[in-house]
């Protein structure tokens, strides 16, 4: 007795495609949790599904060819989803490859300093997309090329488990259940290929004996029970959701959260999604400072010095906090979304934590506050700060901190680029006789550069030299780092501070602060006054009230036309604005309120000193966003879907129009009829005579009134008979063909009709 026919190769391949797509979806959803926001998850889903389709399409080709094609498509995907501004209509360019190399070099540093969920910056997204792509592609290769379905699940399950290991919240079973279903699909697809000779498992479309009915009730119950048991068992097992015996996420961790916001500022500003971080109610607008970075490594990257935090008691002065006379700022912060850093934004310089919903640690050296875990939304804390208000004359008479306490703040790595930066700093400060004049000279030179937050540089001192000597365009990261290093080459202590610009006024002395307000600036210590901020980034202006007293003491506030400029003749502190936009400025009590579309605080209202602020920087030329690319792809797909039936309809109409004689018209009508029938799954086979074709269609018992028999007779006479045919015969053939198609269509499923538009049988 012969074995019944097994499942077809097409069904086997489609089952494998469904299985690997399920794996890609499970990995995309589970691994996407390590990033902030849903945008990264959507990108990982798209990448995973694309990798699955590429692996499936090239299954029957050599493994070498499939791998080469997969790598090429991966580069295209990285260009579209990570570096869209460098591509040429989606195609990667040399600049795309250069940016990929630069981001790849930073992956290790990013992974070391970031806390999950992390911002989806370029380096981490590059690593994530590559990992998801490789996991899905290798899963397909191991399962269906090597025939090892269980081994094939190791790469994707590693990514799913990684998300649970680095996230501190309770493990969510839904992701494990989704991956379990995908894993069972892979095993099923592999088994289908192995046992296809035992009989059909999947019946053809239109049959009532589909997959589930063909399996016994007992088999279905066992399968459903296994899935339910696997989903519920971990929950009831003791210890589910508790920390591992060896918690790898705590390796190399200490009391201080080592986060370098400099590494992420560029990615957040270029991300496109402007998210509200917190609101602050304050008697004074200010820079909301997070942390000072005082150590620079051989690559020019800035990080905070290791420091032991001290527990803060609310309502009491902070140890080594601000003291003495000055202007007081009372600021109450309300977290709108989870902060990306555990370091709290506060006005500089804090001297008291009035109240807080969380336990706070104080770090005197960097003058920063930190919490153990990210503050929840709607949590609040109230900080009181006091900042000194020296004049420019005071600072000209005061040297920068020359005591041993600031010795470490002049240290630089021993790299050949430092000598070149020093010569440049000396040329910029020629003629300046005081430390304050030198600081202002470097600040003034940098503010003549151009602002563009889309710029990216190599993570090295060579990249900084490229910024200073060649491109002269960048954003706050480059400006702050360059000024601090140049000052150190002149033996002037300096460090980089990070935080947020004031944000947008929303009424009642309340300001909304967004991710676009993330910013970096420079701080220099002066004897008798401590650390004071300076602003080297063009397009920002003197928005920090701390700087109002000494940046423009002898100047006159000017805020008209295209420039808001600060003048100071003695120290040549004139700032040349970038002339691209006009500002509207209004004089307030102590500050100048300027409506500014640009800067590191783009999209909001910034605050400047009464003595003036600077014009906005030119808007960035951002590349297309993922949403835009998805919309373009959807539009192209819609055009293709609509165009295929239109092109086919026009082709048939053209064939009928070209037939001028009745005989030719009958034959053309029959050809068009055969094509329309093929759309319904009943096309005429190669070499099949009209009579054979008629008998096959009539065997379906779907026709009425003998229209197919009359159509066939008319066609045979037109093709073979010497007797002439008339226009009436052509009209009858057209009517019969239309009626047969209507009869067939009434008995054809909607799915078959839709599929037939794009694929003939």
Tens digits of per-residue pLDDT, 62-96? Answer: 888 888 999 999 999 999 988 888 888 888 898 88
pLDDT at 113: 57
Domain membership of residue 283 (yes or no) is yes
Domain membership of residue 148 (yes or no) is yes
In this prediction, residues 253-264 reach a mean pLDDT of 39
- Residues near 713 by Cβ (< 8 Å), separated by ≥ 6? none
| C-beta of residue 573 within 8 angstroms of C-beta of residue 612 | no
Kindly report the pTM of this predicted structure.
Answer: 0.47
pLDDT at 538: 85
| C-beta of residue 501 within 8 angstroms of C-beta of residue 519 | yes
Alpha-carbon distance of 248 to 253, in angstroms, equals: 10
| C-beta of residue 449 within 8 angstroms of C-beta of residue 493 | no
In this prediction, residues 231-240 reach a mean pLDDT of 56
Domain membership of residue 21 (yes or no) is yes
pLDDT at 83: 86
- Residues near 601 by Cβ (< 8 Å), separated by ≥ 6? 500, 501, 502, 503, 516, 517, 519, 540, 543
In this prediction, residues 694-721 reach a mean pLDDT of 82
Is the domain of 22 the same as that of 55?
yes
Domain membership of residue 296 (yes or no) is no
Is the domain of 43 the same as that of 190?
yes
Is the domain of 76 the same as that of 30?
yes
Is the domain of 315 the same as that of 240?
no
Per-residue confidence band for 219, with pLDDT thresholds at 50, 70 and 90: low
Angle of helix 63-81 versus helix 94-105 axis, rounded to 10:
90
Q: What is the pLDDT of residues 19-64, one digit of tens each?
A: 999 999 998 888 888 887 788 888 899 999 999 999 999 888 888 8
Per-residue confidence band for 459, with pLDDT thresholds at 50, 70 and 90: confident
Is the domain of 36 the same as that of 124?
yes
Is the domain of 343 the same as that of 238?
no
pLDDT at 255: 33
SS (H, E, C) 559-609: CECCECCCCCCCCCCCCCCCCCCCCEEEECCCEEEEECCCCCCCCCEEEEE
Q: What is the pLDDT of residues 586-605, one digit of tens each?
A: 333 333 333 333 344 433 33
Task: Answer yes or no: is pLDDT of 542 > 60.
Answer: no
pLDDT at 53: 93
Per-residue confidence band for 619, with pLDDT thresholds at 50, 70 and 90: very low
Is the domain of 147 the same as that of 273?
no
Is the domain of 226 the same as that of 278?
no
Q: What is the pLDDT of residues 152-165, one digit of tens each?
A: 888 888 888 777 66
Is the domain of 286 the same as that of 362?
yes
Task: Answer yes or no: is pLDDT of 743 > 80.
Answer: yes
Domain membership of residue 635 (yes or no) is no
Q: Which residues pair with 701 in a beta bridge?
A: none
**For the chain, what is the domain count?**
3
Which of 387, 403, 426 delimits the end of a domain?
387
Domain membership of residue 406 (yes or no) is no
Alpha-carbon distance of 173 to 488, in angstroms, equals: 53
| Share above pLDDT 90 across residues of the chain, in percent, rounded to a whole number | 9
Is the domain of 191 the same as that of 273?
no
- Residue-number span of the structural domain to which 191 is assigned: 9-204+215-244
Alpha-carbon distance of 665 to 731, in angstroms, equals: 9
| Share above pLDDT 70 across residues of the chain, in percent, rounded to a whole number | 73
Alpha-carbon distance of 56 to 69, in angstroms, equals: 12
Tokens of 630: 């998805």
Domain membership of residue 566 (yes or no) is no
Task: Answer yes or no: is pLDDT of 7 > 70.
Answer: no
Could you tell me which residue, 121 or 81, shows the higher pLDDT? 81
Arithmetic mean of pLDDT over the chain: 75
| C-beta of residue 736 within 8 angstroms of C-beta of residue 707 | yes
Domain membership of residue 495 (yes or no) is no
Alpha-carbon distance of 466 to 481, in angstroms, equals: 13
């Amino acid at each position: 007795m012969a074995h019944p026919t097994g499942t077809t190769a097409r069904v086997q391949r489609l089952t494998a495609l469904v299985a690997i797509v399920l794996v890609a979806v499970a990995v995309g959803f589970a691994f996407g949790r390590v990033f902030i926001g849903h945008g990264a998850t959507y990108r990982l889903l798209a990448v995973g599904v694309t990798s699955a389709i590429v692996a499936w399409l090239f299954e029957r080709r050599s493994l070498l060819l499939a791998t080469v094609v997969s790598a090429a498509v991966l580069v295209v995907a990285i260009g579209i989803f990570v570096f869209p501004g460098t591509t040429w209509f989606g195609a990667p360019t040399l600049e795309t490859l250069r940016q990929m190399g630069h981001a790849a070099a930073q992956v290790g540093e990013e992974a070391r300093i970031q806390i999950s969920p992390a911002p989806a910056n370029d380096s981490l997204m590059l690593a994530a997309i590559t990992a998801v792509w490789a996991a899905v592609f290798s899963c397909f290769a191991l399962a269906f090329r090597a025939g090892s379905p269980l081994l094939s699940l190791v790469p994707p399950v590693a990514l799913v488990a990684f998300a649970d290991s680095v996230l501190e919240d309770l493990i969510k079973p839904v992701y494990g259940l989704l991956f379990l279903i995908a894993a069972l699909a892979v095993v099923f697809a592999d088994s289908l290929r192995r046992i296809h000779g035992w009989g059909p498992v999947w019946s053809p479309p239109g049959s009532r004996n589909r997959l589930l009915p063909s399996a016994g009730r007992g088999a279905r119950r066992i399968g459903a029970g296994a899935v339910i048991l696997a989903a519920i068992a971990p929950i009831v097992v003791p210890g589910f959701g508790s920390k591992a015996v060896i918690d790898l996420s705590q390796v190399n961790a200490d009391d201080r959260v080592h986060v370098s916001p400099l590494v992420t500022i560029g990615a957040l500003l270029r991300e496109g999604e402007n998210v509200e971080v917190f609101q602050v109610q304050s008697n004074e607008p200010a820079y909301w400072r997070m942390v000072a970075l005082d150590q620079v490594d051989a690559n020019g990257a800035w990080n905070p010095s290791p420091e032991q935090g001290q527990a803060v008691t609310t309502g009491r002065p902070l140890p080594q906090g601000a003291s003495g006379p000055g202007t007081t700022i009372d600021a109450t912060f309300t977290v709108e979304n989870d902060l990306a850093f555990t370091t709290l934004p506060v006005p500089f310089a804090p001297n008291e934590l009035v109240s807080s919903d969380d336990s706070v640690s104080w770090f005197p050296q960097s003058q920063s506050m930190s919490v153990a875990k990210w503050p929840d939304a709607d949590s609040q804390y109230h900080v009181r700060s006091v900042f000194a208000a020296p004049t420019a004359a005071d600072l000209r008479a005061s040297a920068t901190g020359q005591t041993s306490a600031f010795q470490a703040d002049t240290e630089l790595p021993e790299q050949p680029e430092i000598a070149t930066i020093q010569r440049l700093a000396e040329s910029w400060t020629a003629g300046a006789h005081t430390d304050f004049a030198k600081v202002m000279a470097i600040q003034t030179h940098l503010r003549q550069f151009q602002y563009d937050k889309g710029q990216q540089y190599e993570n090295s001192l060579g990249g900084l030299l490229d910024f200073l000597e060649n491109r002269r365009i960048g954003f706050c990261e480059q400006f702050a780092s360059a000024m601090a290093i140049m000052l150190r080459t002149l033996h002037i202590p300096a460090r980089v501070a990070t935080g947020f610009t004031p944000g947008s006024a929303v009424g009642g002395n309340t300001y909304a602060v967004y991710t676009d307000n993330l910013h970096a600036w420079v701080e220099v210590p002066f004897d008798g006054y401590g650390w004071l901020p300076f602003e080297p980034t063009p397009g920002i202006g003197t928005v920090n009230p701390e700087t109002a007293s000494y940046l423009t003491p002898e100047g006159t506030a000017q805020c008209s036309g295209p420039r808001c400029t600060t003048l100071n003749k003695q120290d040549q502190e004139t700032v040349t604005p970038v002339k691209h936009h006009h500002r509207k400025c209004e004089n307030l009590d102590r500050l100048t309120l300027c409506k500014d579309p640009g800067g590191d605080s783009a999209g909001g209202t910034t605050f400047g000193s009464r003595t003036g602020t600077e014009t906005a920087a030119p808007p960035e030329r951002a590349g297309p966003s993922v949403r835009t690319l998805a919309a373009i792809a959807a539009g192209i797909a819609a055009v293709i879907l609509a165009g295929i039936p239109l092109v086919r309809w026009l082709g048939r109409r053209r064939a009928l129009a070209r037939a001028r004689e009745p005989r030719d018209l009958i034959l053309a009508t029959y050809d068009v009829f055969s094509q329309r029938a093929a759309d319904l799954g009943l096309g005429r086979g190669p070499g099949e005579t009209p009579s054979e074709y008629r008998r096959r269609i009539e065997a379906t018992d779907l026709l009425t009134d003998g229209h197919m028999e009359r159509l066939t007779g008319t066609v045979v006479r037109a093709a073979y008979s010497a007797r002439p045919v008339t226009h009436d015969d052509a009209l009858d053939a057209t009517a019969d063909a239309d009626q047969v198609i209507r009869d067939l269509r009434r008995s054809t499923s909607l799915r078959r009709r839709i599929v037939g538009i794009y694929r003939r049988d």
